[in-house]
Structure formats: C-alpha cells, structure tokens
Amino acid sequence: MNELFEGLADVQSMRDHRRIPLDKVGIKNIRYPIIVLDRAKGTQHTVASINMYVNLPHQFKGTHMSRFIEILNQYRREINVKTFALILREMKDRLDAEEANLEVDFPYFVEKRAPVTGTPGIMEYGCGLHGTLKDRLDMVLVARVPITTLCPCSREISDYGAHNQRGEVRAWVRFDRFLWLEDVIDVVEKSASSEVYSVLKRPDEKYVTEKAYSRPMFVEDVVRSVCEGLMDLPGLRWFEVEAENFESIHNHSAYACTSMCYPFNRSASLPSDTDAS
C-alpha cells in the first residue's frame, strides 16, 4: 500500500507557521448506516448523522479527513455505549491527536401499543451518543421524547375543557454503568400529562384525552418530574433536562430546563414550597 503514495505530497502534514492551534477539525453531518443496541430485539439498524473531530496542534496545516471514514467503516456494525471509547481511542491514535470528539445522532424506533386496544405502532425517538476522549472519557447519552401536556391554569379557570399541546423533552445523561436508551425514554413518558402514540383507536383516544385532563402539568412540572425519575436510575452521575411545549393557543413555546450532579440534592435545584411563596 505504501508504494501507492510514493511521490505524492502529504500536504496536511506540512507545517503551518501561524502558530494557531485548532480545537476541532474533522467531518460533520455525514449520514451513515449503523447498528445500535435494542433492549427488546437485541440490535436495530438505523441511519445516523455523525460528527467526528480531533484537535489540531498549531504546527500542522491540516488533518487527514479520510481516516475518519475509515474508522467509521471499521466500527459501523457496533456503534454503542460499549464500543464508544474504542472508537474515540482509534481516532486519537490514527490522527495523532490529544483529544477526540464523536457525536452520533440517530432515529431510534420502538414498537408501542395503544393503551386500550393494544394496537401496535412504531414510535420514533431522536437519540444519540456524544463523547470526548482526552485524559479521560466523557460520554453523554441523548434522548428526545415527544409528550402531551395539559395546562393546569386552563383547566382551573375554564367552565369546561382545557387546552393541551404536544411537547418535547430533551435529556442528556452521564452514567457510570450500562444504560438502555429505553430507560431514559420510559422515565420521560411517565413524567408527562400523557404519552404520545403513533396509532390510536377511539377507545385509546378517549383514554389518552381523559388521562391528560386528570394530570395537568406546566412545562416546569414536566422537568421536575423527569428529574425525580432520573434520580432513581442506577449509575447516573449527571443529567440535564429541558422541556418545550409547542403551545396550541399561544404564538410561542413554553420552556424549562435544569441540570443536576450526583449526589443529587433536590433542594439545590428544585425550589421549596417556602421559596415559591
């Protein structure tokens, strides 16, 4: 193989004299087929949007972009929480870098049955793994989960009915033991006025509507409920949760966000009753 490169200049490795190091260089928004772990079926084929970066010392003109793709080809059948550190290590070694960054975002599909009739449907969740390897590994699992909320104020002040809307919860979690994507998705869905389903028959729609009416929640309530659920998951070291309601009667979204580190101290992030008065 080496004889193929004889006589061809390696421009990327040439010296740069401006003495300006770069934090991240690499490839961005590459669409790539991957296989991820699936709690119900073992594995799942999906298509990811991938960003791969390394740092570039000031003396080098550029990095070798083709090596990123070669590493993807090597690991595409096993991109998951178990192999993430191996991929980052390969990036550091192959590109002679001090720091490597990898962001893998993908649609994740789960079969979900309607709550009354049991009619099956496929739900899509936006998930991902983001990681950095320098002196140590820093890996974050990402989950974007659609939800339904019903406004407590609207229900309280209205003679009948209350406005509801679809929203989205986005959660980022750091962990020190294996964690299924479904573990985070389950916590979020249980923390809303109602879950979202891809298929609903009339008995299911009645159930979902009445469930949401019986569990009115502000966007602030959703974030706090998700936090309570995440605190109970074993192995979590840090998380950030944000919720956004795509309001049905306002020309804006409602938003709330917070983050917490282990050991979780509820009073540090969640106001007490006396604080609210």
- Minimal CA–CA distance to 233: which of 190, 193, 277? 190
Which amino acid is located at 89 in the chain?
A: R
Total count of domains within the chain: 1
Q: Does residue 277 lie within any of the structural domains?
A: no
Q: Does residue 1 lie within any of the structural domains?
A: no
Q: Does residue 167 lie within any of the structural domains?
A: yes
Q: Where are the beta strands (DSSP E) in the chain?
A: 22-38, 42-56, 100-113, 120-133, 137-150, 164-175, 194-195, 236-246, 253-261
- Please list, in sequence order, all residues whose beta carbon lies within 8 angstroms of the beta carbon of residue 182, skipping any fewer than 6 positions away: 39, 40, 110
Higher local confidence (pLDDT), 2 or 230:
230
With 50 as the cut, is the pLDDT of residue 276 above it? no
pLDDT in the model for residue 59: 74
Count of other CB atoms within 10 angstroms of residue 217: 25
Q: Does residue 8 lie within any of the structural domains?
A: no
197 and 254 in contact (C-beta within 8 Å)?
A: no
Buried b (16+ CB within 10 A) or exposed e, 178-190: ebebbbbbbbbbe
Cα separations (Å) of 188 from 192, 205, 230, 235? 7, 20, 9, 17
Q: Tens digit of pLDDT for each residue in 143-187?
A: 999 999 999 999 999 999 999 999 999 999 999 989 999 999 999
Q: Does residue 55 lie within any of the structural domains?
A: yes
With 70 as the cut, is the pLDDT of residue 273 above it? no
Q: Does residue 276 lie within any of the structural domains?
A: no
Q: For residue 57, what is the enclosing H or E element?
A: none
pLDDT in the model for residue 29: 95
pLDDT in the model for residue 79: 82
Q: Tens digit of pLDDT for each residue in 3-51?
A: 655 654 555 666 666 888 899 999 999 999 998 999 999 999 999 999 9
Rounded to whole angstroms, how far apart are CA atoms 218 and 150?
Answer: 7
The domain that contains 233 carries what CATH number? Answer: 3.10.270.10
pLDDT in the model for residue 80: 81
pLDDT in the model for residue 16: 63
Domain with 151, as residue range(s), is 13-271
Q: Does residue 73 lie within any of the structural domains?
A: yes
Q: Does residue 235 lie within any of the structural domains?
A: yes
